[in-house]
Structure 1
C-alpha cells in the first residue's frame, strides 16, 4: 500500500527557515510565513522535510487513495519558492493573471521572490484555496 511521504510533523518551522542558505530566500520565507499565518489564522506546521503548511484537510479520491494535506503552504526551494494552493478551482486561474511574475506546475505556483508578486492577490489566492478545499472536503481543519 502507498504511504504518503509528506506528512505533518513536529519539526520547527523557524529552525527550517534559518537553514535556508540564500539570505534573500530566507527573508522572503519569513515574509511568506507572516502573510500565510495572518491570512489563514492557522499556525505554521512542517509537512515532510521542506513544506511549511497551514491547516489541513483529509482527501479521498475515487480510486480509494486518501490522505492528509495542508490547505495551503509554501517551500523556499533553492531554485524558486513553491506556493501550494488548491488546483481544482477556476478562481485560481483568474487570480494568477493578476499575481505578478510566476510560473506554474501541475500543483505548484513558483516565484523567484516576493517582490515579484502582488501581496493582495496572494492573500486572495490563500483565502480562495481554503474556501474551495473546505467546501470540497468538509472535514478540513
Structure 2
C-alpha cells in the first residue's frame, strides 16, 4: 500500500511561517499558531512541507488504509488560509453560519484573511473540532 503523502516532518514551524512571503498571510499564520496552540494545548508540528498541525489521530479505513493525521491544522497558502478538520464536528454548520466570509470544500475551511471572520466563532470551531477528532474519531 502506498505511503501517505502528508506526514509529520520534524521541520521548524517558526521557519516555515517566517518564510511565508505575503505579510498578511504570515501574520495570520502566526495568529493561528498562537490560537490553535492555546485551544488545543498541543505543540505545533509540520505535516508535509506546508501544513501546521496540532495533536494527531490515527485513522483506519475499511479498505485497510490507515495512518496518522493532525487533529486540526492550517496552511497559509497563496490564495487563502486553509484550515483543516473544522467543518464536520458537532455544531459546525451553525458556527460556520456565524463565522463570516469563508468557503468550504473537501473537509477544508478557506478564509482569505482573519479580519474577514469572527475569531471568537473560529475559536469555538477549533475547540469543538479538536475534541471531536481526538475523542470520537480517534482510533487505534
State the alpha-carbon separation in 1 of the partners of residues 135 and 87 from structure 2.
Answer: 14
For structure 1, list consecutive stretches of 5 or more residues without a partner in the other structure: none
Distance 1:71 1:47, change over 3 A: same
State the alpha-carbon separation in 1 of the partners of residues 138 and 107 from structure 2.
Answer: 21
| 8 A contact 1:10–1:46 mirrored in 2 | yes
**TM-score when scaled to structure 2?**
0.94
State the alpha-carbon separation in 1 of the partners of residues 66 and 135 from structure 2.
Answer: 17
For structure 2, list consecutive stretches of 5 or more residues without a partner in the other structure: none
Let me know the Cα RMSD of the aligned residues: 1.5
1:51-101 per-residue CA deviation (whole Å, 9 max, x = no partner) reads 000000001112211110000000000010100125543521111001111
State the alpha-carbon separation in 2 of the partners of residues 117 and 85 from structure 1.
Answer: 17
Aligned position for 1:22: 22
| 8 A contact 1:54–1:71 mirrored in 2 | yes
1:3-30 per-residue CA deviation (whole Å, 9 max, x = no partner) reads 1010011100010011111111111111
> 85-94 vs 102-111, which deviates more?
85-94
**TM-score when scaled to structure 1?**
0.93
SS at match of 1:36: helix
| 8 A contact 2:88–2:129 mirrored in 1 | no
